[in-house]
Amino acid sequence: MTSLYNLLMLAVDVAAIWLVNRHKGLLVWCGVMALAGVVALGLGGLLGGCIENHFGFLRLLIYGLFLHGTVLLVASAAVWRGRKVRAGVMLAGAVALLLIAADALLIEPYWLEVSHWRIASSKIHHPLRIVVVADLQTDSIGCFERSVLLRALEEKPDLILWAGDYIQATPEEYTSLKRQLHDLLEEIHFTAPRGVFAVQGNVDGLDWEEIFRGSGVRVTSDSRSFDLGDLQLTCLALWQSFTPDLKITDAHPERFHLVLGHVPNFALGEVQADLLVAAHTHGGQVRLPLIGPIITHSLIPNSWAAGLTRLPSGARLLVCRGIGMERDYAPPIRFLCRPELMVIDLVGE
């Protein structure tokens, strides 16, 4: 579909430039460019929109914007080469598109941010450092994945929480990648004094637990609670994290209660906890100025899709932007939404 889309859009480019060259008025140019944009959207919807979760449409739209948009701007500058100001504006627009594409495709996806969050509570009697590794969601175990895990260990965490979505690859590649990730975790000794806990993500296969087999990681496909001294940790099953009317009663209100789930929908329910930690949204993966994330694939408000939110119940919600990206049909981009390794310091008030 990608090749067909680009061939059809190339024909649109040629027709648009022919019209612009024939009628060199600014209003004509605006109309032609607007029409080309509509055709790009229409072809994207026709050829890619049938793919699950509209990722196919978004992938084609990236080609329409960055590839064909640049071609049209450069060609327009050539048509108006006699008008230096107008041609200069067109070239500046083309350069801007190329810079944005370079950032979104080559820079931001691998520009890790280590975010630090300090949560104070009278229920915490001994400081506890937690590292959240979310949405590794890789189709290749390489230098970036290794560097992220080593960076997590450099934070000297007392507790490590894996928030789901570990590998997203074809069935033929999945078994090999699962073994590679398992071997990497053993090689770098990815452990913490108070333990490592992992929940299931929505892209994880039924045998996702094998990634952590023999490593001492406590994997939880079903909901379970763990007594960690000052901290009570509840790990949610995947389906429960999807549930917006989930009810969880805190059996030990004197202890700090942290609930970990992959999808943040559960934060909309009646969850008696001090801190809720989730992932899945990737922070939107693409965020626009003044607008924020375009897509979060969750039911929470867009303003909750990354960072810290104080919930009406008084609890706090932390949503991690994650390490990786959507794979398969999705465009492999991040824009104004860097990958995130989350560090939480629980301290006494």
pLDDT in tens, 284-305: 999 999 899 988 999 999 999 9
pLDDT-based confidence at residue 49 (cuts at 50, 70, 90): low
Q: How far apart are CA 174 and CA 156, in angstroms?
A: 30
At residue 50, the pLDDT reads 56
At residue 45, the pLDDT reads 84
Q: What is the mean pLDDT of residues 86-95?
A: 93
Could you count the other beta carbons within 10 Å of the beta carbon of residue 55?
Answer: 18
Query: Which structure tokens are listed for 199?
Result: 């929940």
Q: How far apart are CA 72 and CA 69, in angstroms?
A: 5
Residue 28 has pLDDT above 70, yes or no: yes
Q: What is the mean pLDDT of residues 7-24?
A: 91
Question: 30: exposed, middle or buried (C-beta count within 10 Å: 0-12, 13-18, 19+)?
Answer: exposed
At residue 82, the pLDDT reads 80
Residue 52 has pLDDT above 70, yes or no: no
Query: Which structure tokens are listed for 188?
Result: 């770098």
Residue 53 has pLDDT above 70, yes or no: no
Helices 2-22 and 69-79 sit at what angle, rounded to 10 degrees?
20
Question: 293: exposed, middle or buried (C-beta count within 10 Å: 0-12, 13-18, 19+)?
Answer: buried
pLDDT-based confidence at residue 230 (cuts at 50, 70, 90): confident
Question: 33: exposed, middle or buried (C-beta count within 10 Å: 0-12, 13-18, 19+)?
Answer: middle
**Beta carbons of 313 and 271 less than 8 angstroms apart:** yes
Q: What is the mean pLDDT of residues 10-30?
A: 90
Instruction: Summarize pLDDT for 170-184 with one digit per residue, the tens.
Output: 888 999 999 999 999
Tell me the average pLDDT of the chain: 93
Residue 94 has pLDDT above 80, yes or no: yes
At residue 234, the pLDDT reads 97
Strands (DSSP E) contained in the chain are 113-121, 128-133, 159-162, 196-199, 218-220, 224-228, 231-235, 247-248, 256-260, 270-271, 275-278, 287-288, 292-293, 307-310, 316-319, 340-348
Amino acid at 162: W
Which range has the top average pLDDT, 21-30, 54-63, 198-207? 198-207
* pLDDT: which is higher, 349 or 311: 311
Could you count the other beta carbons within 10 Å of the beta carbon of residue 65?
Answer: 16
Query: Which structure tokens are listed for 335?
Result: 């824009």
Residue 188 has pLDDT above 80, yes or no: yes
At residue 47, the pLDDT reads 84
At residue 83, the pLDDT reads 85
Q: How far apart are CA 230 and CA 123, in angstroms?
A: 7
CATH number of the structural domain 113-348: 3.60.21
